[in-house]
Amino acid sequence: MANAKTPDMIYTKVDEAPELASASLLPIIRSFAGAAGIEVETRDISLAGRILSQFPDFLEEDQRIADDLAELGDLVKTPDANVIKLPNISASQPQLDAAIAELQAQGFALPDYPAEASTDAEKDIQARYDRVKGSAVNPVLREGNSDRRAAKAVKEYAKANPHSMGDWASDSKTTVASMSGNDFFANEKSTTITAAQAGGATITFTGEDGSESVLKDGLNFLAGEIVDATFMSASALRDFVRAEIDSMEPGVLFSVHLKATMMKVSDPIIFGHFVSVYLEDFIAKHGDALDWNPNDGIGELENQIAGNAEMEADLKAALAARPDMYMVDSDRGITNLHVPSDVIIDASMPAVIRAGGIGWGPDGKAAPTKCCIPDNCYAGVYDETINYFKANGKLDVTTCGAVSNVGLMAQKAEEYGSHPTTFEASAKGTIAVVLDNGDVLHSHDVDAGDIWRSCTVKKLPIEDWIRLGLRRHKATGTSAFWLDANRAHDAELIKYVEPALKEAGVDIPIMAPREATRFTLENMVEGRDVVTITGNVLRDYLTDLFPILELGTSAKMLSIVSLMQGGGLFETGAGGSAPKHVQQLHGENHLRWDSLGEFCALGESFDFLADKGRSKAGILGKAVAEATQKLLLNGNSPERKVGQNDNRTSHYWFARYWAEALAAQGDDAELAAHFGAIAGEMAAKEDAIIAELMTGQGDAVDLGGYYNGDVDKTAAVMRPSATLNAIIG
């Protein structure tokens, strides 16, 4: 990288719906950018690409691919980085297993994932795969803090064209349930590293017999870095799950809401406890005969016992004896406890709230839901939101203000950087963070099965986050720091925030998440725009919750990461990779993915280049904004059903409006002439292009793979208009 020319713009290759959309949109972007002398390159951060990059020694030479994620990790630490980052899969174990199986079937001689690694070779293979699992991408790329907000055109469109919102009843039985103690919140310890403490550290486990083992070595703490440690009691968690199941009211659905993808060590274990308690009687009878980990969910159990009539009957009876569950897919019988990656809290909870406090039961009917969020660090946000809407009724999206976020996430900040330092206690004992000077920084007495974790946030990202929060507050006027003085970690952060606010002469309230939720809702309902200034997890949660309420989706958010070394990372919204959209494309050749997030990120990326002296990029960026607004106003966005606009037709309209805006501008005659011809041809051939794009809708398609689709087959599906392709190139 040191001697290579930094690419003008990098567009990431990812997974599922956004990657399918890229097959249609990226050729348009490259064509338009190329006319301005701007080269657009791609880098592969897809799940399949990340897997293949880890195993060059198992693959044929022509099958090997570079570790693009590592390259990007270096690039984002430079001032010229300009990366458009689309949503990728944060793989759960079942997703990882499925991707491995698909690649093996395609002729890649990958090893199986060794669930129980005993030899050095198996441990090496497991470690390589574990680098791919969970939130493997974002912590590497996010070398800056997050600024997420709705573009003005998007917000105005949402107000003028309100999406559906479910009605709330004051006596709704939908509730949030959390542990009464002994969770991560209650057990947290935190401190800020002094100059004398800075340096190396180790995480150790000491058994009751005095034996000591090293869980993690090679840690290094900087002066000013906040270091936390905490644990969740497995026995307290299981008692909580039992109590919540036993206290279910008739007609209420049972559910758990976690993030097993991002919190790839802790949350699958928590999920497994819910599964094993829910199926306690079945496991007591058949557990010894099963090679099944409850962390993998009921879906994997069903696969294993398929064809065993006794076990299938017992499982059916065990499920029938328990309260009805919130369903991921009622038609297919996919429950809340089927797959750990299926119920992602920042998507599932906003969906329940937007719908008026309802989920869908096994019978396909709507019902109130008990939402179990075991840990208390952030559960209060959802509890307070539900209580607010019970008291005040649904949100009026035609008048409400916009809620944006400034999130502390740089350099693997807080819990989302805790994967390498999260452990399931193997026995009763003590887990401690020990500094190289011999001081014990934190320690906890744990029982076997307890989930212990440590996380950190460095001084420079904290200071950068506060400055970004102050800038956004100045631009917006109403904001709050979401920090709880009664939580150990937040109390350390407040020691940074309060002096900074005093020095700046700015009065921004510092509020615990529950109170900040109420503050935000009250202000947005009054039509005021609000900035939420939060840590990393709440950045993730709130940039789904409020956009889904305001806009109907979080995929339409503008997400700018101002990299700390001066580069730009432009994320295309917070909407995930939409596997259900892919299912619809496979079955009906209709992709309802909305690329609005890509359009917003693209405009910002061009503006970034313009700030670096590339004047033509600024013209392209301004035209992108005009095209996006026109597409929204004219109703050209994708719709849900076969025969309606989909992702491909929206790309035609975007390209046409983009070309028309470039043809109309007066700052660059060469660009105006070039795109005038393109705009004219696209308009003249509109009927033919639309007809070609709609051809085949309703029919099943073959993309040659789910995680590693065939390039030519995908292009044939996503670029079906020969007329448009000839114009674009």
**Those residues with Cβ within 8 angstroms of residue 705's Cβ, 6 or more apart along the chain or in another chain:** 102, 106
Beta strands in 320-410 (DSSP E): 327-329, 334-335, 358-360, 366-372, 403-407
- What CA–CA distance (Å, rounded) separates 603 from 686? 25
pLDDT at 134: 82
Mean per-residue pLDDT, 711-729: 97
Evaluate if residue 3 carries a pLDDT over 70: no
Whether 297 and 275 have beta carbons less than 8 Å apart is answered as yes
* Higher-pLDDT residue of 445, 153: 445
Write out pLDDT tens, residues 203-239.
999 999 999 999 999 999 999 999 999 999 999 999 9
Q: State what percent of residues in the chain have pLDDT above 90.
A: 92
pLDDT at 638: 95
Q: State what percent of residues in the chain have pLDDT above 70.
A: 99
Could you tell me the two tokens for 724? 């448009």
- What CA–CA distance (Å, rounded) separates 103 from 729? 31
Write out pLDDT tens, residues 527-581.
999 999 999 999 999 999 999 999 998 877 888 998 999 999 999 866 567 888 9
**Those residues with Cβ within 8 angstroms of residue 341's Cβ, 6 or more apart along the chain or in another chain:** 90, 91, 92, 94, 95, 260, 261
**Hey, which residues does 455 pair with through a beta bridge?**
228
The residue assigned the tokens 């036993």 is: 246
pLDDT at 227: 98
Mean per-residue pLDDT, 175-181: 98
- What CA–CA distance (Å, rounded) separates 595 from 597? 5
Please count the residues of the chain: 729
Write out pLDDT tens, residues 597-620.
999 999 999 999 999 999 999 999
**Mean pLDDT of the chain, nearest integer:** 95
Three-state DSSP state, 544: helix
- What CA–CA distance (Å, rounded) separates 79 from 33? 21
pLDDT at 490: 98
Evaluate if residue 120 carries a pLDDT over 80: yes
What does pTM read for this prediction? Answer: 0.87
Q: How confident is the model at residue 2 (pLDDT cuts 50, 70, 90)?
A: very low
Write out pLDDT tens, residues 321-380.
999 999 999 999 999 999 998 889 999 999 999 999 999 999 999 999 999 999 999 999
pLDDT at 4: 67
- Cα atoms found within 13 Å of the Cα of residue 408, Cβ hemisphere only: 27
Whether 147 and 472 have beta carbons less than 8 Å apart is answered as yes
**Residue 140: other Cβ atoms inside 10 A:** 16
> Strands 429-435, 327-329: parallel, antiparallel or unpaired by DSSP?
unpaired
pLDDT at 555: 79
- What CA–CA distance (Å, rounded) separates 583 from 591? 9
Burial bucket for residue 398 (CB in 10 Å: 0-12, 13-18, 19+): exposed
Write out pLDDT tens, residues 64-112.
999 999 999 999 999 999 999 999 998 989 899 999 999 999 999 999 9
pLDDT at 1: 39
pLDDT at 145: 95
- What CA–CA distance (Å, rounded) separates 678 from 656? 8
C-alpha 491, offset from chain centre: 27
Amino acid at position 408, single letter? L
